[in-house]
Amino acid sequence: MTRLATTVDKMMASIDKLTDILQPAARQALSPIERSCERIDLHLDGACFMSLNRTHKRTFAHAGRKLSEHLETYVGVISQFDMTTGACRVTLEGGSARLPAIVVDPAFNRPKNRYVEAMASRHSICFLAKADLDDEGHPLRLYISDTSAQERRFTVV
């Protein structure tokens, strides 16, 4: 392999890494589209050189993600929980990253629900969820639908 080919390969690998790293920032930058605006125009020297719309937003929203098709049982610690929206952060057992999650269980906004109790006590909770998965099958975001039957069996009332 020539020196030029090696340099090009390294450069392409760097571009691939940057693309992966910058996808969350691109999703966040495009988040106002369909909320507070219809498009975002990019300007240089007073001229619009690109207009980003809902098609661009949807492309970035789904890039590198796939939704799991079946409910899976997960065990993790809830470190943040919003009782109004069900949005939370979960650290899965054996991991260190705090994953974004949303609880879609209708009980999420009731006082003393299982999710709030687990967060307040910093105990692990066993729950059922679907997940947005990365290319290697690791969860990126969880959609929690219920505490698992195993969790309820061990709960003392």
Domain count along the chain: 2
CB 74 within 8 A of CB 127: yes
Considering the domain architecture, whether residues 58 and 112 belong to the same structural domain is answered as no
Considering the domain architecture, whether residues 17 and 76 belong to the same structural domain is answered as no
pTM over 0.75: no
Which of 13, 46, 62 is the last residue before a domain boundary? 62
Instruction: Work out the pLDDT band at 70, boundaries 50, 70, 90.
Output: confident
Which of 62, 86, 111 is the last residue before a domain boundary? 62
Tokens found for residue 25: 């920032």
What domain range is 51 assigned to?
Answer: 3-62
Which of 62, 77, 112 is the last residue before a domain boundary? 62
Considering the domain architecture, whether residues 129 and 107 belong to the same structural domain is answered as yes
CB 18 within 8 A of CB 32: no
Query: What's the pLDDT score for residue 5?
Result: 81
pLDDT in tens, 14-24: 887 777 677 77
Q: Please enumerate in sequence order all residues whose Cβ is within 8 A of that of 72, keeping only pairs 6 or more positions apart, or say none.
A: 128, 129, 130, 131
Question: What single letter denotes the amino acid at residue 47?
Answer: A
Query: What's the pLDDT score for residue 37?
Result: 93
